[in-house]
Structures are given as structure tokens and as C-alpha cells.
Amino acid sequence: MEMISKRDLKEVLIACAKAVGDNDLLATEWLMSELRQMVSVCGDPFQRLGAYMLEGLVLEFGYMSANGAIAEAMKDENRIHIIDFQISQGSQWVTLIQALAARPGGPPRICITGIDDLTSAYARGGGIELVGQRLSRFAESCNVPFEFHAVPISASLVEIQDLRVLPGEPLAVNFAFVLHHMPDESVTVQNHRDRLLRLVKSLSPKIVTLVEQESNTNTAPFFPRFLEALNYYKAIFESIDVTLPREHKERINVEQHCLAREIVNIVPCGGGVRVDRHELLGKWRSRF
């Protein structure tokens, strides 16, 4: 660790960020594995900064990996239906629309069904229809045929009739930071986490993508749960701090209306009151 120069670390960070920006999955994955050996939250100032920058890149990499997997699964389809179980601001789909617009032979027709409840309206600045309008305008600028279906309800309440899936339609389902909000068998007999997975399985999608943080704030007792949340959100706040000025309105909105709500729920709440219940990779694998 002591032999690594600041210049080397900076160059690898920049190369990793460029790979993320270029949607180069293989290069990003390799550079991230290199960075994990170079950064440290206990190291010198630049190694600590590198650790938090890497955390920010990893969050972005999750969306990029999901988009890459969807594009590969749908490479021969002329129509794609994507169901996003938490559309939020819809920014994940901008890079996918761009990539599909450049596809040899022309882009497919894209339909996105966006699911979200009112909790994202603060950060978004309005209802879910705004997402559809923004994505429609962007798709039009890329000459991509596009339609958007808004489903303004909580993902845990979704039923099959809400999704309007056509028989034989090439379907991609995206679970990005949403399933950890669902109560499971450790909380109630109404296991929405597994119910949604069974519902999606019944639709026979070509691909299902999952983006989650890997930590146990589901069944862990209070003190280990506190420590996991402390370490995770410290990295998130540090990443935001080096990205956006402290007086920036978007930073304040994200921290107050998204992160703060999660933290206040994860740390003190128990039973069915706690809605933020993250799991480890092995548990997600067994569920799938």
C-alpha cells in the first residue's frame, strides 16, 4: 500500500471513470478490482478520497451493468418492453436508449413501464408522468420509437394486470434498489419480496436484473445493523460531498428526502416498521 503513488491512484481512478462513461464493462470491472487494492478508508488522504470515489463509481456501475445485460439479451429484438419496478428519475435508461439508437439496422421500439409511488416525487419534482415526458423527448431526439406506461403505485402492490405485458413480448425486468424495501418471510407471512419474483417468473422474461447494495440490514440485530449502516452511508455522504457543492439544491434534496429517510428507518426501526432491509449476495442468489 505504501508503495502506491498518488499519481498512480489518480490515473487508475480517471481510467475507471472513463471506462464507466464509455460503457466499457470489461475495463470497468478490471479497473475496479485494481482500485480495491489501492484505496483504503484508513489510508492517507488521497487513498481515503479514492475509496469514496470508487464507491460512487460502483453505484453507477450497477446501472451500467444492468443496461449492458439488457442490451445483450435483446440484441436481436425489434421491440423491447422494460418493466422498471422503481423508475425514480428514469436516468438509468438514458444510456440504454443511446446505445440502442446506434444499433446496426436501426433501433428497436422501446416500451418502458415505470413503477413508483409518491416517495420519489420530492427528488423528481413531480409525478411519475414527468419521467415519461423526459424520456420520450430524449428518445425522440435519438430517433428511437418510444412509449411509456406509468404505474403510480408502490412496487409491493403491483399485480400482473398493472403491467400490460403482451403475449410473447420480449420482456426485461429491472429491480434497481427496490426489493430491499419489500418485507420478507422474516417479517410477515405476506412475503412481497418473493411474491414479486414469482409474479415476474410467470411472465417468462428474457432477462431480470437486480441492483442492490450488499449488506445485511434485514435480519441483523440492532448493533451489527447500526455498524453496517454507518459504514455504508458514510461512504455515500463522502461521495456526494466531493461531487456536489454543499449548498447545491440537488444534494440537499437527495440527502434529506432519500438518504435521511432510509437511515432513520434502518437504524432504530424493527418489525414491519422497518422497510429498508438489505441482504447479502448469497441470500439474493438463493431467492432467485
CATH label of the domain that carries residue 97: 3.40.50
What is the spatial distance between Cα 213 and Cα 196, in angstroms, rounded to a whole number? 19
| Assigned domain for 149 exists | yes
Q: By the 8 A CB rule, do 59 and 93 touch?
A: no
Query: Are 203 and 89 within one domain?
Result: yes
Query: Are 206 and 180 within one domain?
Result: yes
- Long-range contacts from 28-36, C-beta under 8 angstroms, 24+ separation: 28/57, 28/61, 28/64, 29/61, 32/57, 32/58, 32/61, 35/9
Strands 171-176 and 207-211: parallel
What is the spatial distance between Cα 281 and Cα 266, in angstroms, rounded to a whole number? 19
Side chain identity, residue 229: A
Query: Are 111 and 150 within one domain?
Result: yes
| Assigned domain for 69 exists | no
What is the spatial distance between Cα 133 and Cα 138, in angstroms, rounded to a whole number? 9
Q: How many domains does the chain divide into?
A: 3
Query: Are 52 and 108 within one domain?
Result: no
| Assigned domain for 216 exists | no
Strands 109-115 and 171-176: unpaired
What is the spatial distance between Cα 144 and Cα 147, in angstroms, rounded to a whole number? 10
pTM above the 0.85 mark? no
| Assigned domain for 47 exists | yes
What is the spatial distance between Cα 199 and Cα 164, in angstroms, rounded to a whole number? 13
Query: Are 78 and 163 within one domain?
Result: yes
Going residue by residue through the chain, which has 288 residues, state the pLDDT in tens, using 9 for 90 and above.
344 455 688 888 888 888 887 777 778 878 888 888 888 766 777 787 787 777 777 787 788 889 989 999 999 999 999 999 988 888 889 989 999 999 988 999 999 999 987 666 655 567 788 889 999 999 999 999 999 999 998 888 899 999 999 988 999 999 988 887 777 776 667 788 889 999 999 999 999 999 887 766 666 667 776 777 777 777 777 767 766 677 777 777 767 666 776 776 666 556 555 566 678 788 888 889
What is the spatial distance between Cα 276 and Cα 197, in angstroms, rounded to a whole number? 18
| Assigned domain for 15 exists | yes
Query: Are 158 and 258 within one domain?
Result: no
Query: Are 202 and 138 within one domain?
Result: yes
Side chain identity, residue 81: H
Domain that residue 11 falls in: 6-64
Query: Are 236 and 259 within one domain?
Result: yes
Half-sphere exposure of 78 (CA within 13 A, CB side): 2
